[in-house]
Structure 1
């Protein structure tokens, strides 16, 4: 498939260039390398965009992007919470292999060793691979891939292939409005006037304006919106107030539209300056936050639509998120696709599209490049989530084809407690736990996970169960175990 699609890519690239007869072979090869832009929201629900069914929020820019490109109804995040999802996206590997099992807190010393957690220096990321084939790289927005942000004690974004970075450790503080916690290439910036999503897009455009070479670029734009603490432009809040239950809900609706406006600014800029060959992918790191789950979640009115659960669930709403792809300047498939695609697939896909070599490690994603040809992609790898701190009871879940199987973890008939991190003190507890109490769903017919088919379809259940047991065992063997003494020598 790689050679077939690369031939297709060269063909459409040369077709779009004028005067190809006078272009050298080297220049023709260069035209096949697209600029790549990844736009990632924070806690955006599957039902939060108007094109994904929200009855009130207006997101015209993303809706238009989906009509020009691919509107993906089966797109998945690598994890149901922030940090592991971002690590999975950038590495193409289950975050368990990287040792990032939950969101990463501040570096306060803890018994479960979460203060040590970070994406380790040996992990290979998308920007690192693309730099090997001439790409320039930039990160603007949220990072959240280590506990000690902007410290020499742990790798920084620049250690993972970003030539330029403008980021925060976690959320914009004190809120999305006038944030004061951005770091630019290791230096504190101080308070910046405006709203975070607009600031992040402005920084991205400034970087592109100052880029002197004609090399292709990889740009990762990671919004803080609509994660708490939410702050939104007053005019948008007033627009939604008559349509909302209260001002907090109006703030959320306005927050999503403000993010859409920021996307619109970026799309307009890219069309004008790099519209001949730029691939843009848009999604969310996980599903929507539960209203009032913690004291600051007072404006978390995100919508899971018909999906079961919310953020931090291994049910669909935790990981099944909006997905939109748009390849500016290329004649690719346009319309809705039900192909099952994950952010884990970005690494192998981008490497295929650019000619970069894949990292020499076990990847859990696979290239979906064929989706640009006809909207179809036949997945061969299962999607497996093992999230030990899930709010629901069945913490292990796997999608394979149209089916999804889920189960609990038990030791001596006692369910495992909620676990933030795998470390030397609980490794045996986790690895000796048994998979129990399975349920089976047909997501094509039952996206809301209402009907357990484990008894109704015994043959399918038997195959899915055996596959889950095998793949979970493989993941456990490759999961990283944190040990304080080894890391603090």
Structure 2
């Protein structure tokens, strides 16, 4: 009897051991399968590209066949929003999935350490902010940034975090614009070392760097690649062959140079897509193309003489909280995957990239408040229900209504007013003006039905009084929550 019991125990132990081995093997196999399913992710980000600057978005002259092909076989978004109407905040919002105000990015970042009364000289993406590349790196991704950084006032300095701190293993970047122009830039830095003078055009040079990085990348790990084009931001420089092509359509050389500048980006994108196909990297790569904000206004400042960008049918331009300031082209194409295909007016934001990429990669999410949401299911269905409205608070807007909110088909905007009058233009919120900003209250509300009025030409608050009151109440709540969580700068 005792021998039989001992024998039974041995068999049970053997079976349990076998089960454990099977379980371990299954776990490993599942983990390997999960790793193989992680998509490569490429974000192609233009600088100052307007809503109407691609042929697939209605430009009558500029030819963008490679981007048009991506849109044709992918998803073309007509209600896509950047996170701010100006560069630095927009880029930080994209990387963090949070309103840039939460990170203390209220306007573009100036370069250098000359003290300023508004403290813009100390503004930078702070070390504690979590970003897309950092989160993806934790689950096995290789990461790379090529092009424009614009996330720190002290670029390439140990005094502020640089791209590598935020998860970019390889970076080939400039602080802001390519200098002296897009042609033969001299201000690139590669992983902390100055590169010196280069020959060629910025859009092609950064794609060269991206391809070289992909060629040298070891192993079969998935990758996250941000290609941050300087184009078509001034100072614009374009290949003469392309300029000559567009001079057949305009007598203004500067306009032809702008048109050529956008097409040169398209050519660079085409080169990268061809490389992916050649190397078999088009089987599971999610490609996103968009812009950081709307088009620059012609001659707004002396060097903006080639700024012929188009807002399409939208109202405003860059630096506006009307639609053209941050409603921009966006094309999403998941190469090698069967996803939704077509044109959609679903409301999507660059804030959504971090939670989406994290979900697809099996990565975690930041502990801090997120303003975006995952659109992983949208990529398959083409439909989405937003969990919270999109809110912008841009204190240096060129238009008067500096706070805006999009919810569903509607958009409400407001001015900021104190007892002494309307809040003056603010470049940065810091210890010296914090009380003034927080004292200001929303006022002069206006309402637009964007579904029927993309150009914001008809103010409709009197036609929809109950909706208007609900939207006002919600905007006040959303704005106050955002302001309470906005970082306030102080000089140490």
> 2:400 matched to which residue of 1?
393
Residue 328 of structure 2: SS of its match in structure 1? strand
Distance 1:461 1:165 in 2: 47
> 1:480 matched to which residue of 2?
487
Superimposed CA distance per residue, residues 128-169 of structure 1 (whole angstroms, 9 cap, x where no aligned partner): 000111001000000000100000010000000000000000
1:378, distance to aligned residue in structure 2 (A):
1.3
> 1:48 matched to which residue of 2?
53
1:245, distance to aligned residue in structure 2 (A):
4.1
> 1:86 matched to which residue of 2?
91
> 1:411 matched to which residue of 2?
418
> 2:21 matched to which residue of 1?
none
Distance 1:237 1:223 in 2: 19
Distance 1:28 1:182 in 2: 39
1:213, distance to aligned residue in structure 2 (A):
1.1
1:278-293 alignment, distance < 5 Å = 278-293=285-300
Superimposed CA distance per residue, residues 308-331 of structure 1 (whole angstroms, 9 cap, x where no aligned partner): 000000000000000000011111
> 1:254 matched to which residue of 2?
260
Distance 1:372 1:114 in 2: 38
Matched, 1:218 2:220: no
1:214, distance to aligned residue in structure 2 (A):
0.6
> 2:32 matched to which residue of 1?
27
Distance 2:96 2:29 in 1: 34
TM-score (ref. length: structure 1): 0.94
Distance 2:451 2:465 in 1: 18
1:272, distance to aligned residue in structure 2 (A):
2.2
> 2:4 matched to which residue of 1?
none
Any unmatched runs of 5+ in structure 1? 1-20
Aligned residues: CA RMSD:
1.1
Residue 317 of structure 1: SS of its match in structure 2? helix
Residue 111 of structure 1: SS of its match in structure 2? coil
> 2:183 matched to which residue of 1?
177
> 1:317 matched to which residue of 2?
324
Any unmatched runs of 5+ in structure 2? 1-25
1:375, distance to aligned residue in structure 2 (A):
1.1
1:6-21 alignment, distance < 5 Å = none
1:63-462 alignment, distance < 5 Å = 63-107=68-112, 108-273=114-279, 274-412=281-419, 414-462=421-469
1:24, distance to aligned residue in structure 2 (A):
3.7
> 2:44 matched to which residue of 1?
39
Superimposed CA distance per residue, residues 398-421 of structure 1 (whole angstroms, 9 cap, x where no aligned partner): 000100000100111511111100
When Rg is computed on C-alpha atoms for both structures, the one with the higher figure is 2
Residue 165 of structure 2: SS of its match in structure 1? helix
Aligned residue pair count: 464
Does structure 2 conserve the Cα–Cα contact (< 8 Å) formed by 1:65 and 1:324?
Answer: yes
